[in-house]
């Protein structure tokens, strides 16, 4: 979110100099920069651990323990909303599911009658029998992961119908589930005791010692829970999975085209987000030893959302801090402040001071915080995107070095296709949008290791052709054979996996991610790390990540010193031409056999065009097959082996560039009456740049 408003003026920087001074004077300067995050984490951990020892107020510890539960919830919602960009307005539902799962298996609520069926369970300590009834006594520690799992299942269940919906529709459906779950809880008293609230939920036990009602042990469990979830969030965020989520968040279509299985990763986000809430629900109920449906209503979902917005959407430490501050503000600080004012009032004998109840205005305060944050500090307390050192003048004005040969040599094997010819065969392809026929019975063949250019006037169906071939649009009829297999019904991420990557006419990068992250998402389909690998940093995963990073840097190096120095820059800060290059690099990172380039030089000046054409040529020289949509005829002529001309969705000509440029019909369709081919391209260039500016 932060990057989007980067142009907006920074308000509220009063005192910036003071902070700068304090910063320079602070002991932080003694610590080496790369150690600072670790020292900070160590200090925070230490503070969290000693807090109950130093501050022996049971109520404040309890308040902190509750706040930790909300921090855990915020971390979970952050996965769904912050990482994957799926707006969930009913997140409290999963909190409720986790809470009641533990509540049902560790209380007097469900008491089936005793039968031998239960004997093995009794032996495992999961149930006890008192007289004729079975009493569930499943351990808290066992229920933590079980509840997480149950909630994750519901996450998938609730996520599934929303997959095809975009943000706002998604919001209302999740809101609906958020409403439904407490109603079901209220109306199924046999499991939940309904509105009366659960009775007799067991306190956790550790080696036979019961936690009882003292707040401190719960506090430490809360600290551990939040620590684990912070750790898991961090690991996930920096993994292949986190990159896929952020790709979906930034641009769903581009993510799919880069090989991200949207269905799988959206459901995974729902499931993991729900799992966090499920575990937290168990913790919360074990601590409270009761639960009522009112604890999980819409305001809870909204409040968790407010917490992550306040802390910084997508920022792991941000959402934790946001949750802790807002929760403790209402349960601790404001109450104490009110008491303090009352004491002052009594001391001074001022009546109105004794009457102030700040807590009653808490919702008002929250509303004001929310609006103020949104207007003046949208990125939250601790923004998710970090600032990167700007390039020095020397780096910015450095001589352009064109791709050095070695990396290309090393990449040769990735790009070379050695299967049956042709690589791509399109037959009789028809695409229809309602009444409009966008493509009519188009045929096209791309032999291995060739460059085919597709030209035609605007609206002639060139981009639709790409969309249909890559699975973004389902053709009405016709066949698309890639490397000998039909692919016309495959979803985009599978098409990419088969070895066909593309760029978009109007650049679809992931604007708030860095250059390197963008390119690494291109590698998504070539990597294999799953959730366990990401969480545990298994050796295999670590090796894979390191290799991927190396590979991506090699890809960046194809563009000389254009991208390499900017690898850690957010792409939205790049120049237009560099963004085009990043998009091509991202496509190349997937090791395609066939690259579809949609107007790659649009908006570039002649020198940049020449440079890019050279780079494309060198890629082709190293085995890559290319289909190119291009308006600049000199580029087409210099690169293409074969040219296909589309007009009104139909192929009107095909042949070597020289032949096609003399074709009368092409000249008429493409250029109007009397113009000559040489002047044509300029028309399209400003359009491309206008769309981006």
Window 227-286: residues binding another protein (CB under 8 A): 251-253, 284
Which region, judged by CB under 8 A, interacts with another protein, from 207-215, 440-448, 449-457, 519-527? 207-215
Q: At residue 628, what are phi and psi to the nearest 5 degrees?
A: -130, 125
Instruction: Give the other-Cβ count within 10 Å of 478's Cβ.
Output: 18
Q: Residue 679, SS3?
A: helix
Smallest distance from the beta carbon of 693 to another protein, in angstroms?
12
Q: Which two tokens stand for residue 546?
A: 């390191």
State the minimum distance, in angstroms, from the CB of residue 224 to another protein: 19
Q: Are 681 and 493 in contact (CB under 8 A)?
A: no
Is 130 a binder of another protein (CB under 8 A)?
A: no
Q: Could you say which of 143, 148, 288, 408 contacts another protein (CB under 8 A)? A: 288
Which of 2, 640 has the CB closer to another protein? 2
In this chain, which of 357, 401, 409, 428 binds another protein, going by CB under 8 A?
357
| Binding region for another protein (CB under 8 A) out of 16-24, 176-184, 477-485, 536-544 | 176-184
Q: Which of residues 318-337 bind another protein (CB under 8 A)?
A: 327, 330-333, 335-337
Q: Is 213 in the site for another protein (CB under 8 A)?
A: yes
Least distance from C-beta 332 to another protein, angstroms?
A: 8
Number of H helices, E strands in the chain: 30, 14
Chain positions 472 to 491 lying near another protein, rule: CB under 8 A, are none
- Least distance in angstroms from the C-beta of 185 to another protein: 11
* CB contact set of 7 (below 8 Å; sequence gap of 6+): none
Shortest distance, CB of residue 548 to another protein, whole angstroms? 26
CA atoms of 60 and 80, how far apart (whole Å): 30
The window from 1-9, 148-156, 609-617, 674-682 that contacts another protein (CB under 8 A) reads 1-9
Compute the least distance from the CB of residue 396 to another protein, in Å.
Answer: 27
How far, in Å, CA of 348 to CA of 457, rounded? 83
Of the candidates 252, 235, 280, 690, the residue with the CA atom closest to the CA atom of residue 508: 252
Tell whether residue 471 is a contact of another protein (CB under 8 A).
Answer: no
Binding to another protein (CB under 8 A): which residues in 376-405? Answer: 378
Burial (0-12, 13-18, 19+ Cβ within 10 Å), 469: buried
Greatest CA span in the chain, whole angstroms?
Answer: 100
Residue 273 and residue 77 in contact, taking contact as beta carbons nearer than 8 Å: yes
Region near another protein per CB under 8 A, out of 194-202, 528-536, 662-670, 680-688: 194-202
Q: Give the residue with the Cβ less far from another protein, 50 or 418.
A: 50
* DSSP helix/strand/coil, 445: strand
Q: Is 297 in the site for another protein (CB under 8 A)?
A: yes
Angle ∠(623,625,626) on CA atoms, nearest 5:
135
> Which one of 156, 157, 228, 369 is in contact with another protein (CB under 8 A)?
369
* Residue 303 near another protein by CB under 8 A: yes
Q: To which H or E segment does residue 488 belong?
A: none
What is the nearest approach in angstroms of another protein to the Cβ of residue 309? 5
Residue 481: its H or E element: strand 477-482
Q: Is 362 in the site for another protein (CB under 8 A)?
A: yes
To 10 degrees, what angle do helices 58-77 and 36-54 make?
Answer: 140
Residue from 130, 350, 374, 536 touching another protein (CB under 8 A): that is 374
Rounded to the nearest whole angstrom, what is the least distance from the CB of residue 483 to another protein in the complex?
30
Residues 483, 252, 323, CA angle at the centre, nearest 5°? 140
Site for another protein in 423-462 (CB under 8 A): none
Size of residue set near another protein by CB under 8 A:
102
Minimum Å gap between C-beta 500 and another protein is 22
Q: Does 14 bind another protein (CB under 8 A)?
A: no
**Is residue 199 close enough to count as binding another protein by CB under 8 A?**
yes
Q: Are strands 451-455 and 133-136 parallel, antiparallel or unpaired?
A: unpaired
Residues in contact with 585: Cβ distance below 8 Å, sequence separation at least 6, in sequence order: 515, 518, 519, 522, 552, 555, 556, 558, 559, 563
Burial of 670 (0-12, 13-18, 19+ CB in 10 A): buried
In the region spanning residues 620 to 659, those forming contacts with another protein, defined by CB under 8 A, are none
Q: Which residues does 618 contact at the CB level (< 8 Å), separation at least 6?
A: 403, 408
Structure tokens at 321: 């801090």
Q: Which of residues 48-87 bind another protein (CB under 8 A)?
A: 54-55, 57-63, 66, 69-70, 81, 85, 87
The correct pick among 197, 497, 614, 655 for binding another protein (CB under 8 A) is: 197
Of 443, 511, 429, nearest to 478 (Cα)? 429
Coil, strand or helix at 446: strand
When binding is defined by CB under 8 A, the residue of 37, 125, 145, 212 that contacts another protein is: 212
- Residue 599 has which token pair? 């107007």
Name the segment binding another protein (CB under 8 A); options: 31-39, 366-374, 578-586, 610-618. 366-374
Site string for another protein, 143-172 (x = CB under 8 A): ------------------xx-xxxxxx-xx
């Amino acid at each position: 979110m932060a990057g989007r408003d980067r142009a907006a003026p920074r308000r509220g920087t009063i005192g910036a100099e003071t902070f700068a001074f304090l910063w320079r004077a602070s002991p932080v300067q003694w610590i080496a920069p790369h150690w600072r995050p670790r020292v900070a984490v160590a200090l925070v951990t230490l503070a969290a651990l000693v807090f109950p020892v130093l501050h022996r107020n049971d109520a404040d510890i309890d308040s902190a323990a509750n706040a930790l539960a909300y921090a855990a919830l915020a971390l979970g919602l952050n996965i769904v909303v912050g990482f994957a960009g799926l707006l969930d307005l009913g997140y409290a539902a999963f909190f409720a599911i986790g809470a009641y799962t533990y509540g049902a298996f560790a209380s007097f609520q469900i008491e089936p009658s005793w039968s031998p069926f239960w004997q093995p369970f009794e032996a495992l300590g999961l149930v006890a029998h008192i007289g004729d009834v079975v009493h569930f006594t499943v351990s808290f520690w066992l229920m933590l992961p079980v509840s997480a799992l149950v909630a994750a299942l519901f996450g998938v269940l609730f996520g599934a119908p929303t997959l095809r919906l975009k943000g706002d529709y998604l919001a209302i459906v999740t809101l609906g589930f958020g409403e439904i779950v407490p109603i079901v809880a209220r109306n199924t008293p046999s499991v939940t005791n309904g509105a009366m609230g659960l009775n007799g939920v067991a306190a956790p036990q550790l080696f036979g010692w019961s936690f009882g009602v003292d707040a401190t042990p719960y506090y430490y469990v809360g600290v551990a829970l939040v620590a684990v979830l912070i750790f898991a969030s961090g690991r996930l965020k920096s993994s292949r999975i986190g990159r896929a989520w952020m790709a979906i968040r930034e641009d769903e279509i581009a993510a799919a085209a880069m090989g991200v299985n949207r269905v799988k990763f959206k459901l995974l986000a729902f499931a993991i987000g729900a799992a966090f809430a499920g575990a937290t629900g168990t913790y919360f109920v074990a601590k409270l030893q009761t639960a009522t449906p009112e604890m999980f209503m819409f305001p809870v979902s909204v409040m968790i959302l407010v917490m992550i917005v306040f802390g910084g959407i997508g920022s792991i430490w941000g959402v934790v801090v946001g949750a802790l501050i807002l929760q403790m503000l209402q349960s601790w600080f404001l109450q104490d402040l009110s008491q303090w004012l009352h004491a002052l009032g009594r001391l001074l004998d001022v009546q109105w001071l004794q009457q102030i109840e700040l807590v009653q205005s808490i919702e008002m305060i929250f509303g004001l915080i929310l609006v103020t944050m949104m207007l003046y500090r949208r990125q939250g307390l601790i923004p998710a995107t970090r600032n990167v050192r700007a390039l020095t003048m020397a780096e910015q004005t450095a001589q352009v070095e064109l791709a050095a040969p070695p990396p290309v040599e090393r990449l040769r094997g990735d790009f070379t296709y050695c299967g049956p010819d042709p690589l791509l065969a399109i037959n009789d392809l028809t695409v229809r949008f309602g009444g409009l026929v966008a493509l009519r019975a188009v045929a096209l063949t791309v032999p291995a290791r060739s460059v085919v250019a597709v030209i035609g006037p605007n609206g002639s169906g060139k981009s639709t052709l790409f969309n249909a071939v890559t699975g973004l649009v389902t053709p009405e009829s016709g066949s698309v054979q890639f490397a000998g297999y039909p692919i016309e019904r495959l979803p985009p991420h599978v098409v990419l996996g088969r070895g066909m990557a593309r760029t978009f006419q109007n650049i679809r990068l992931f604007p708030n991610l860095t250059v390197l992250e963008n390119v690494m998402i291109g590698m998504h389909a070539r990597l294999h790390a799953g959730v366990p690998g990401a969480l545990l940093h298994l050796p295999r995963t670590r090796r894979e990540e390191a290799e991927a990073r190396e590979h991506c840097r090699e890809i960046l190096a194809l563009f000389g010193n254009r991208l390499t120095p900017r690898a850690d820059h957010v792409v939205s800060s790049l120049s237009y031409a560099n963004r085009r290059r990043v998009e091509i690099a991202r496509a190349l990172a997937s090791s395609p056999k066939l690259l579809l380039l949609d107007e790659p030089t649009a908006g570039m000046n002649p020198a940049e065009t020449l440079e890019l054409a050279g780079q494309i040529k060198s890629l082709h020289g190293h085995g890559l097959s290319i289909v190119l949509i291009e308006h600049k005829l000199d580029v087409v002529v210099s690169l293409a082996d074969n040219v296909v001309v589309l007009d009104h969705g139909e192929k009107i000509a095909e042949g070597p560039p020289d032949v096609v440029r003399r074709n009368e019909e092409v000249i008429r369709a493409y250029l109007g009456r009397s113009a000559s081919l040489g002047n044509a391209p300029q028309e399209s260039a400003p359009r491309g740049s206008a769309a981006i500016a």
